Chain A
Amino acid sequence: MTGRGDDRSAGEKRWRRRCMVLLVMLLPLVLAFNTRENIERWWKSRDLLAREVAAGEQADFGGARWQLHALRMAPLPAGGNIPDNAMGVVADFRVQVQDADLPGNWRGCTIALQDGQGRRWLPTYVLRLPRSDTQECVSAIFSGAKAGAMLRIRQAFLVPRDAAGALRVTVSLLQQRPHYLRFAQHPRLMQ
């Protein structure tokens, strides 16, 4: 009688141990299964992995070949919507379209300036640039450009003077995230 009782208790202990081990294995799996969509969304909603582009080089990105043609800066006098100590920066790209599906490839196109501390400056609408055949990234999406076409993309920024010289341009597209382009070239002061 006692022997059968010992057998049963040993069996229970064994199963309890197995269940504990299974629990430890299953809990993270269930957690990962339930949160996989959130994790994936988080991963694809951020610019995390920079693809460095050397000065003067081109990079294929989002069905197009991107080249930073010029990055110029000039100090701006304060007044109106321009705060004190502001520097205007203008980034000019030459972009050769390889895949004409710009609405699909270039969705969420964001050109920004970035400094070493991770601060980001987005395009400003305070600076009025002279009319030209350049366009902004978002408006180029609906330009109907065909494969092989060369687009001129221009964006303007308002940045503090003390940080301007060390900034770098980034290009981010929704479909390419978490990858984004980062150009090595720094802004040059206009004479």
Chain B
Amino acid sequence: MKRRLATLLLLVAAAAVLFAMQRSTPRYDELTGPLVVSGRMGQAVRTRLFDANVERVEFARRLVYQRFDRETERTTSGLWAIVTVELSARSRSVNVGQASWVGPRGFQYLQTDRLALAPGQSPPAAEPGLPRRARYIFEIRPDQVGGAVLRLSERFAPRLDSEARIKLDALPRKPDGALDIMDTFDMNPVRKEPS
């Protein structure tokens, strides 16, 4: 009798272990998904192909730039978030072309496609040994500002390759603590005054 009970217990235990294993087995998507490298603003995040350092985040209600010698403006009912990143390739030239802003509620914003032919909007090509600044612009909802994360990778949804996830934790604030939002952000490159 005791032996049968022990066998039964063993069977139940085995079934429980198998069930737990089945439930906890990662899916193919998770197994082959991006290899996350986390960091925060002001520090270099090292992925397999590039280093990224988010220098600043700015917010604006309106963007202006020159297109075919004409002033062009883009307004929004939300906010323009402008992220300036220093990029440096590691072992080979790389286009860090995939960027997204993930808000505190999980909303994911890809780079805006409303800035056709604006300066500095081609995918930023980084070369080994030549750090450069790149600007990523997102059109977001105002409630997606705090606690957001910037995701950077070479390709959309990288498989078995690293993706930088940088916490955007140093936002521009006014002296009273409110978010500093510019009325207009000029995207044109700064022209050097002739000396």
Q: Is the CB of B91 within 8 A of A158?
A: no
- A158 is contacted by which of B120, B122, B130 (Cβ under 8 Å)? B130
Q: Is the CB of B91 within 8 A of A119?
A: yes
Q: Is the CB of B92 within 8 A of A83?
A: no
Q: Is the CB of B92 within 8 A of A122?
A: yes
Closest to A126 in B: B125
Q: Is the CB of B130 within 8 A of A118?
A: no
Give the residues in chain B near A121, CB-CB below 8 Å. Answer: 92-93, 127-128
Q: Is the CB of A120 within 8 A of B130?
A: no
Q: Is the CB of B93 within 8 A of A120?
A: yes
Closest to A85 in B: B130
Q: Is the CB of A119 within 8 A of B125?
A: no
| Cα of A86 to Cα of B127 in the assembled complex, Å | 10
Q: Is the CB of B129 within 8 A of A159?
A: yes
Query: Does A124 reach chain B (CB closer than 8 Å)?
Result: yes
Query: Does A80 reach chain B (CB closer than 8 Å)?
Result: yes
Measured as residues with beta carbon below 8 angstroms from the partner, the interface class of chain A is: 20 to 34
Query: Does B26 reach chain A (CB closer than 8 Å)?
Result: no
Q: Is the CB of B93 within 8 A of A122?
A: yes
| Cα of A162 to Cα of B129 in the assembled complex, Å | 9
If A83-B130, A85-B130, A86-B130 touch, whether A124 touches B125 (CB-CB below 8 Å) is yes
Give the residues in chain A near B189, CB-CB below 8 Å. Answer: 79-80
Q: Is the CB of A83 within 8 A of B131?
A: yes
Q: Is the CB of B129 within 8 A of A119?
A: yes
Within A106-131, the residues touching B (CB, 8 Å) are 112, 118-122, 124-126
Within A145-167, the residues touching B (CB, 8 Å) are 158-160, 162-163
Q: Is the CB of B91 within 8 A of A118?
A: yes
Query: Does B155 reach chain A (CB closer than 8 Å)?
Result: no
The 0/1 profile, CB within 8 Å of A marked 1, for residues 91-130 of chain B is 1110000000000000000000000000010100101111
Query: Does B74 reach chain A (CB closer than 8 Å)?
Result: no
Closest chain-A Cβ to B69's Cβ sits at a distance in Å of 17
| Cα of A146 to Cα of B51 in the assembled complex, Å | 44
Query: Does B173 reach chain A (CB closer than 8 Å)?
Result: no
Give the residues in chain A near B132, CB-CB below 8 Å. Answer: 81, 83
| Cα of A79 to Cα of B133 in the assembled complex, Å | 11
Query: A85-B130, A120-B128, A121-B92 given. 18 additional CB < 8 A pairs?
Result: A81-B120, A81-B132, A83-B130, A83-B132, A119-B90, A119-B91, A119-B92, A119-B128, A120-B91, A120-B92, A120-B93, A121-B93, A124-B125, A158-B127, A158-B130, A160-B130, A162-B129, A163-B129
Q: Interface on A for B, CB 8 Å cutoff?
A: 79-81, 83, 85-86, 112, 118-122, 124-126, 158-160, 162-163
15 contacts between A and B (CB under 8 A): A83-B127, A86-B130, A119-B90, A119-B129, A120-B91, A120-B92, A121-B92, A121-B128, A122-B92, A122-B93, A124-B127, A125-B125, A158-B127, A158-B130, A162-B129
